[in-house]
Amino acid sequence: MSAPTTMWTLMYHIKKEIVPRVHTILDEWRVKAAGIPNADLRGHALNSINENTFHSEGGGVYALLTRKEIREDLLRFIVAYQIICDYLDSLCDETDSFDKRDFRSLHEALRIALSPEEKAYPYYEHHPQSEDNGFLQELVEACQQHVSVFPGFSHARPSMEELSLHYRNLQVYKHVKKEDRESLLTEWFEEEKHHVPDMFWYEFSASTGSTLGIYALAAYASRSHLAEWQAEAIKNSYFPYVQGMHILLDYFIDQEEDIQDDELNFCTYYENEETMVRRMELFKQEGEKRLKRLPDAAFHSLLNKGIIAIYLADEKVQKRPELKKTAGRFIRFGGLPTAFFYLNSWVFRKTT
Protein backbone atom coordinates (compact mmCIF):
# COMPACT_ATOMS: atom_id res chain seq x y z
CA MET A 1 0.00 0.00 0.00
CA SER A 2 1.61 3.27 -1.15
CA ALA A 3 0.37 6.53 0.38
CA PRO A 4 0.77 9.88 -1.46
CA THR A 5 4.19 11.43 -0.88
CA THR A 6 4.02 14.74 -2.75
CA MET A 7 1.99 17.89 -2.09
CA TRP A 8 0.18 17.60 -5.42
CA THR A 9 -0.78 13.94 -5.17
CA LEU A 10 -1.86 14.25 -1.53
CA MET A 11 -4.12 17.19 -2.34
CA TYR A 12 -5.54 15.41 -5.37
CA HIS A 13 -6.42 12.24 -3.43
CA ILE A 14 -7.90 14.21 -0.54
CA LYS A 15 -10.22 16.18 -2.81
CA LYS A 16 -11.14 13.34 -5.15
CA GLU A 17 -11.31 10.33 -2.82
CA ILE A 18 -11.59 11.40 0.81
CA VAL A 19 -13.70 14.56 1.01
CA PRO A 20 -16.64 13.26 -1.08
CA ARG A 21 -16.90 10.01 0.93
CA VAL A 22 -16.58 11.85 4.25
CA HIS A 23 -19.39 14.20 3.23
CA THR A 24 -21.60 11.27 2.23
CA ILE A 25 -21.04 9.57 5.60
CA LEU A 26 -21.69 12.85 7.43
CA ASP A 27 -24.94 13.23 5.51
CA GLU A 28 -26.08 9.85 6.80
CA TRP A 29 -25.37 10.86 10.40
CA ARG A 30 -27.01 14.24 9.81
CA VAL A 31 -30.27 12.46 8.97
CA LYS A 32 -30.02 10.45 12.21
CA ALA A 33 -29.24 13.60 14.19
CA ALA A 34 -32.27 15.37 12.74
CA GLY A 35 -34.45 12.58 14.15
CA ILE A 36 -33.45 13.21 17.79
CA PRO A 37 -36.64 14.13 19.67
CA ASN A 38 -35.02 16.35 22.30
CA ALA A 39 -34.48 19.81 20.82
CA ASP A 40 -31.32 20.55 22.84
CA LEU A 41 -29.63 17.26 22.00
CA ARG A 42 -30.75 17.54 18.38
CA GLY A 43 -29.19 20.99 18.15
CA HIS A 44 -25.90 19.79 19.64
CA ALA A 45 -25.82 16.76 17.33
CA LEU A 46 -26.52 18.78 14.18
CA ASN A 47 -24.04 21.50 15.16
CA SER A 48 -21.35 18.93 15.91
CA ILE A 49 -21.72 17.66 12.32
CA ASN A 50 -22.35 20.92 10.47
CA GLU A 51 -19.73 23.07 12.19
CA ASN A 52 -16.88 20.54 12.40
CA THR A 53 -16.82 19.03 8.93
CA PHE A 54 -13.11 19.74 8.58
CA HIS A 55 -12.39 17.58 11.66
CA SER A 56 -13.78 14.53 9.86
CA GLU A 57 -12.13 15.53 6.60
CA GLY A 58 -8.76 15.83 8.34
CA GLY A 59 -9.14 12.52 10.13
CA GLY A 60 -10.34 10.88 6.93
CA VAL A 61 -7.04 11.60 5.21
CA TYR A 62 -5.55 8.67 7.16
CA ALA A 63 -7.68 6.37 5.01
CA LEU A 64 -5.12 6.97 2.25
CA LEU A 65 -2.78 4.71 4.22
CA THR A 66 -4.92 1.62 3.86
CA ARG A 67 -6.13 -0.72 1.13
CA LYS A 68 -9.08 0.44 -0.95
CA GLU A 69 -11.10 -2.65 -0.08
CA ILE A 70 -11.12 -1.73 3.63
CA ARG A 71 -10.97 2.05 3.26
CA GLU A 72 -14.72 2.43 3.74
CA ASP A 73 -14.58 0.72 7.14
CA LEU A 74 -11.74 2.99 8.23
CA LEU A 75 -13.50 6.14 7.02
CA ARG A 76 -16.72 5.17 8.75
CA PHE A 77 -14.87 4.50 12.01
CA ILE A 78 -13.03 7.84 11.84
CA VAL A 79 -16.14 9.87 11.04
CA ALA A 80 -18.25 8.19 13.73
CA TYR A 81 -15.52 8.56 16.37
CA GLN A 82 -15.00 12.20 15.46
CA ILE A 83 -18.73 12.97 15.64
CA ILE A 84 -18.78 11.47 19.14
CA CYS A 85 -15.89 13.75 20.14
CA ASP A 86 -17.52 16.87 18.70
CA TYR A 87 -21.00 16.03 19.99
CA LEU A 88 -19.81 15.41 23.55
CA ASP A 89 -17.61 18.50 23.51
CA SER A 90 -20.68 20.53 22.56
CA LEU A 91 -22.77 18.95 25.33
CA CYS A 92 -20.11 19.63 27.96
CA ASP A 93 -19.52 23.20 26.74
CA GLU A 94 -23.18 24.13 27.05
CA THR A 95 -24.26 22.37 30.24
CA ASP A 96 -24.85 24.34 33.44
CA SER A 97 -24.04 21.45 35.77
CA PHE A 98 -20.21 21.40 35.68
CA ASP A 99 -20.57 17.85 37.01
CA LYS A 100 -17.47 15.69 36.58
CA ARG A 101 -19.63 12.57 36.83
CA ASP A 102 -21.69 13.77 33.88
CA PHE A 103 -18.62 14.45 31.73
CA ARG A 104 -17.05 11.13 32.67
CA SER A 105 -20.20 9.12 31.91
CA LEU A 106 -20.77 10.83 28.58
CA HIS A 107 -17.18 10.17 27.51
CA GLU A 108 -17.45 6.49 28.32
CA ALA A 109 -18.79 6.40 24.77
CA LEU A 110 -15.25 6.91 23.47
CA ARG A 111 -13.89 4.05 25.55
CA ILE A 112 -16.65 1.65 24.59
CA ALA A 113 -16.31 2.65 20.93
CA LEU A 114 -12.90 0.92 21.10
CA SER A 115 -14.30 -2.10 22.96
CA PRO A 116 -16.33 -4.20 20.48
CA GLU A 117 -17.31 -6.72 23.16
CA GLU A 118 -19.06 -4.15 25.40
CA LYS A 119 -22.76 -3.35 25.30
CA ALA A 120 -24.71 -0.14 25.83
CA TYR A 121 -23.87 2.14 28.77
CA PRO A 122 -26.01 4.79 30.55
CA TYR A 123 -24.05 7.68 29.03
CA TYR A 124 -26.63 10.29 30.04
CA GLU A 125 -27.15 9.05 33.61
CA HIS A 126 -25.99 12.40 35.08
CA HIS A 127 -27.08 14.62 32.20
CA PRO A 128 -30.28 16.71 32.25
CA GLN A 129 -31.41 15.37 28.84
CA SER A 130 -31.18 11.85 27.47
CA GLU A 131 -33.78 11.45 24.70
CA ASP A 132 -31.42 11.11 21.74
CA ASN A 133 -33.29 8.28 19.96
CA GLY A 134 -30.20 6.07 20.24
CA PHE A 135 -27.95 8.53 18.36
CA LEU A 136 -24.91 8.23 20.63
CA GLN A 137 -25.20 4.46 20.98
CA GLU A 138 -25.47 4.09 17.19
CA LEU A 139 -22.24 6.04 16.79
CA VAL A 140 -20.55 3.80 19.37
CA GLU A 141 -21.79 0.64 17.67
CA ALA A 142 -20.61 1.88 14.28
CA CYS A 143 -17.10 2.33 15.70
CA GLN A 144 -17.19 -1.10 17.31
CA GLN A 145 -18.37 -2.74 14.11
CA HIS A 146 -15.68 -1.22 11.94
CA VAL A 147 -12.65 -1.65 14.24
CA SER A 148 -13.59 -5.29 14.80
CA VAL A 149 -12.70 -6.11 11.18
CA PHE A 150 -9.24 -4.49 11.33
CA PRO A 151 -6.64 -7.31 11.34
CA GLY A 152 -4.27 -5.37 13.61
CA PHE A 153 -6.82 -3.94 16.02
CA SER A 154 -6.20 -6.29 18.95
CA HIS A 155 -2.57 -5.16 19.23
CA ALA A 156 -3.29 -1.52 18.37
CA ARG A 157 -6.10 -1.29 20.90
CA PRO A 158 -3.99 -0.66 24.07
CA SER A 159 -2.25 2.31 22.45
CA MET A 160 -5.54 3.63 21.03
CA GLU A 161 -7.16 3.32 24.46
CA GLU A 162 -4.24 5.12 26.12
CA LEU A 163 -4.68 8.10 23.81
CA SER A 164 -8.44 7.93 24.23
CA LEU A 165 -8.11 7.98 28.02
CA HIS A 166 -5.91 11.08 27.82
CA TYR A 167 -8.52 12.73 25.63
CA ARG A 168 -11.36 11.77 27.98
CA ASN A 169 -9.51 13.09 31.02
CA LEU A 170 -8.91 16.42 29.33
CA GLN A 171 -12.60 16.73 28.43
CA VAL A 172 -13.57 16.12 32.05
CA TYR A 173 -11.05 18.49 33.62
CA LYS A 174 -11.41 21.38 31.19
CA HIS A 175 -15.21 21.55 31.50
CA VAL A 176 -15.53 21.81 35.30
CA LYS A 177 -15.99 25.14 37.08
CA LYS A 178 -13.44 27.74 36.02
CA GLU A 179 -11.85 27.94 39.47
CA ASP A 180 -11.20 24.17 39.49
CA ARG A 181 -9.86 23.65 35.97
CA GLU A 182 -6.25 24.66 36.39
CA SER A 183 -5.73 22.76 39.66
CA LEU A 184 -7.19 19.56 38.19
CA LEU A 185 -5.10 19.87 35.03
CA THR A 186 -1.87 20.60 36.90
CA GLU A 187 -2.48 17.70 39.32
CA TRP A 188 -3.05 15.42 36.35
CA PHE A 189 0.17 16.65 34.75
CA GLU A 190 2.11 15.92 37.95
CA GLU A 191 0.89 12.31 37.71
CA GLU A 192 1.83 11.98 34.04
CA LYS A 193 4.89 14.18 33.53
CA HIS A 194 7.37 11.33 34.02
CA HIS A 195 5.94 9.65 30.92
CA VAL A 196 6.44 12.60 28.56
CA PRO A 197 9.34 14.86 27.53
CA ASP A 198 10.00 18.07 29.46
CA MET A 199 7.12 20.50 28.84
CA PHE A 200 4.67 22.83 30.55
CA TRP A 201 1.43 21.46 32.03
CA TYR A 202 -0.67 23.32 29.49
CA GLU A 203 1.38 21.85 26.62
CA PHE A 204 0.78 18.37 27.97
CA SER A 205 -2.94 19.13 28.23
CA ALA A 206 -2.97 20.33 24.63
CA SER A 207 -1.22 17.17 23.45
CA THR A 208 -3.99 15.02 24.93
CA GLY A 209 -6.75 16.85 23.06
CA SER A 210 -6.05 15.48 19.58
CA THR A 211 -7.39 12.33 17.93
CA LEU A 212 -4.69 12.15 15.24
CA GLY A 213 -2.76 9.34 16.92
CA ILE A 214 -5.90 7.25 17.26
CA TYR A 215 -6.65 7.64 13.56
CA ALA A 216 -3.07 6.83 12.55
CA LEU A 217 -3.21 3.67 14.67
CA ALA A 218 -6.60 2.74 13.20
CA ALA A 219 -5.18 3.15 9.69
CA TYR A 220 -2.27 0.78 10.29
CA ALA A 221 -4.48 -1.66 12.20
CA SER A 222 -6.88 -1.74 9.25
CA ARG A 223 -4.28 -2.67 6.69
CA SER A 224 -2.36 -5.49 8.38
CA HIS A 225 -1.51 -7.26 11.62
CA LEU A 226 0.58 -5.23 14.07
CA ALA A 227 2.82 -6.16 16.94
CA GLU A 228 2.19 -4.22 20.14
CA TRP A 229 5.62 -2.61 19.91
CA GLN A 230 4.74 -1.32 16.43
CA ALA A 231 1.53 0.21 17.74
CA GLU A 232 3.47 1.75 20.60
CA ALA A 233 5.92 3.28 18.11
CA ILE A 234 3.08 4.81 16.09
CA LYS A 235 1.53 6.24 19.26
CA ASN A 236 4.86 7.73 20.37
CA SER A 237 5.38 9.30 16.95
CA TYR A 238 2.18 11.30 17.36
CA PHE A 239 2.03 11.86 21.10
CA PRO A 240 2.90 14.31 22.51
CA TYR A 241 4.49 16.59 19.92
CA VAL A 242 2.41 16.21 16.75
CA GLN A 243 -0.83 16.13 18.71
CA GLY A 244 0.34 19.02 20.87
CA MET A 245 1.11 21.19 17.86
CA HIS A 246 -2.29 20.35 16.40
CA ILE A 247 -4.23 21.50 19.47
CA LEU A 248 -2.03 24.49 20.28
CA LEU A 249 -2.82 25.79 16.80
CA ASP A 250 -6.51 25.21 17.47
CA TYR A 251 -6.23 27.30 20.63
CA PHE A 252 -4.12 29.91 18.82
CA ILE A 253 -6.89 30.72 16.35
CA ASP A 254 -9.60 30.63 19.08
CA GLN A 255 -7.92 33.00 21.53
CA GLU A 256 -10.28 35.97 21.10
CA GLU A 257 -13.40 33.78 21.10
CA ASP A 258 -12.29 31.87 24.21
CA ILE A 259 -11.49 35.05 26.13
CA GLN A 260 -14.95 36.45 25.31
CA ASP A 261 -16.62 33.20 26.40
CA ASP A 262 -14.42 32.87 29.51
CA GLU A 263 -13.14 29.52 28.21
CA LEU A 264 -9.81 27.87 28.94
CA ASN A 265 -7.17 28.60 26.29
CA PHE A 266 -3.73 27.04 26.62
CA CYS A 267 -1.98 29.61 24.41
CA THR A 268 -2.75 32.38 26.89
CA TYR A 269 -0.46 30.72 29.45
CA TYR A 270 2.70 31.54 27.47
CA GLU A 271 4.46 34.54 28.95
CA ASN A 272 4.66 36.28 25.58
CA GLU A 273 4.24 35.71 21.85
CA GLU A 274 7.94 35.02 21.33
CA THR A 275 7.87 32.14 23.81
CA MET A 276 4.73 30.73 22.21
CA VAL A 277 6.25 30.80 18.71
CA ARG A 278 9.51 29.28 19.93
CA ARG A 279 7.73 26.46 21.76
CA MET A 280 5.47 25.70 18.81
CA GLU A 281 8.50 25.53 16.55
CA LEU A 282 10.08 23.05 18.97
CA PHE A 283 6.90 20.95 18.91
CA LYS A 284 6.96 21.02 15.12
CA GLN A 285 10.64 20.00 14.94
CA GLU A 286 10.36 17.24 17.55
CA GLY A 287 7.20 15.94 15.92
CA GLU A 288 8.93 15.76 12.55
CA LYS A 289 11.82 13.78 14.03
CA ARG A 290 9.45 11.17 15.39
CA LEU A 291 7.33 10.95 12.24
CA LYS A 292 10.47 10.12 10.24
CA ARG A 293 10.67 6.81 12.14
CA LEU A 294 7.32 5.64 10.77
CA PRO A 295 6.54 3.70 7.62
CA ASP A 296 5.16 6.18 5.04
CA ALA A 297 7.22 8.90 6.74
CA ALA A 298 6.86 11.32 3.83
CA PHE A 299 3.06 11.04 4.00
CA HIS A 300 2.97 11.74 7.75
CA SER A 301 5.34 14.69 7.38
CA LEU A 302 3.23 16.21 4.61
CA LEU A 303 0.07 15.72 6.63
CA ASN A 304 1.65 17.38 9.66
CA LYS A 305 2.61 20.41 7.58
CA GLY A 306 -0.84 20.47 6.04
CA ILE A 307 -2.49 20.58 9.47
CA ILE A 308 -0.48 23.69 10.33
CA ALA A 309 -1.65 25.32 7.10
CA ILE A 310 -5.34 24.43 7.52
CA TYR A 311 -5.53 26.16 10.89
CA LEU A 312 -3.59 29.21 9.76
CA ALA A 313 -5.86 29.63 6.73
CA ASP A 314 -8.91 29.89 9.00
CA GLU A 315 -10.87 33.12 8.60
CA LYS A 316 -10.39 33.86 12.32
CA VAL A 317 -6.71 34.38 11.52
CA GLN A 318 -7.29 36.21 8.25
CA LYS A 319 -9.56 38.79 9.90
CA ARG A 320 -7.08 39.72 12.64
CA PRO A 321 -3.83 41.37 11.50
CA GLU A 322 -1.94 40.52 14.71
CA LEU A 323 -2.80 36.80 14.40
CA LYS A 324 -2.03 36.85 10.68
CA LYS A 325 1.42 38.27 11.39
CA THR A 326 2.18 35.51 13.90
CA ALA A 327 0.73 32.93 11.51
CA GLY A 328 3.30 34.06 8.95
CA ARG A 329 6.05 33.00 11.35
CA PHE A 330 4.45 29.56 11.74
CA ILE A 331 4.23 29.19 7.97
CA ARG A 332 7.91 30.03 7.58
CA PHE A 333 9.07 27.36 10.00
CA GLY A 334 6.65 24.93 8.35
CA GLY A 335 8.51 25.37 5.04
CA LEU A 336 7.35 25.14 1.44
CA PRO A 337 4.74 22.37 1.95
CA THR A 338 3.03 24.44 4.66
CA ALA A 339 3.00 27.49 2.38
CA PHE A 340 1.53 25.37 -0.43
CA PHE A 341 -1.21 23.89 1.73
CA TYR A 342 -1.90 27.30 3.28
CA LEU A 343 -2.54 28.93 -0.09
CA ASN A 344 -4.54 25.94 -1.28
CA SER A 345 -6.70 25.92 1.87
CA TRP A 346 -7.25 29.67 1.71
CA VAL A 347 -8.35 29.55 -1.93
CA PHE A 348 -10.56 26.50 -1.25
CA ARG A 349 -12.35 28.28 1.61
CA LYS A 350 -12.85 31.40 -0.52
CA THR A 351 -14.47 29.43 -3.32
CA THR A 352 -16.78 27.14 -1.29
Check residue 193 and give its pLDDT: 97
Cβ atoms of residues 263 and 242 within 8 Å: no
Q: pLDDT digit string (tens) for 23-59?
A: 999 999 999 999 999 999 999 999 999 999 989 999 9
Ordered by where they begin, the domains of the chain are 7-350 (1.10.600)
Measure the CA–CA gap between 149 and 324, rounded to whole angstroms. Answer: 44
Q: pLDDT digit string (tens) for 135-162?
A: 999 999 999 999 999 999 999 999 999 9
CA geometry: angle 70, 25, 28, nearest 5 deg: 135
Q: Say if residue 151 is preceded by a cis peptide, omega within 30 of 0.
A: no
Check residue 304 and give its pLDDT: 86
Mean pLDDT of 62-90: 96
Q: 318 versus 29: which is more confidently predicted?
A: 29
Is residue 313's pLDDT more than 80?
A: no
Is residue 178's pLDDT more than 80?
A: yes
With both helix axes pointing from N to C terminus, report the angle between 19-34 and 68-94 in degrees, rounded to the nearest 10: 50
Which amino acid, residue 130? S
Mean pLDDT of 79-97: 93
Q: 130 versus 336: which is more confidently predicted?
A: 130
Comparing CA positions, the residue from 191, 189, 223 lying closest to residue 207 is 189
Task: Enumerate the H helices of the chain as residue ranges.
Answer: 7-13, 19-34, 39-50, 53-60, 68-94, 100-112, 135-147, 153-174, 178-192, 201-207, 212-223, 228-238, 241-253, 255-260, 273-291, 297-312, 315-318, 321-350
Check residue 236 and give its pLDDT: 98
pTM of the entire predicted model: 0.93
Percent of the chain past pLDDT 90, that is, above it, reads 72
DSSP type of residue 275: H
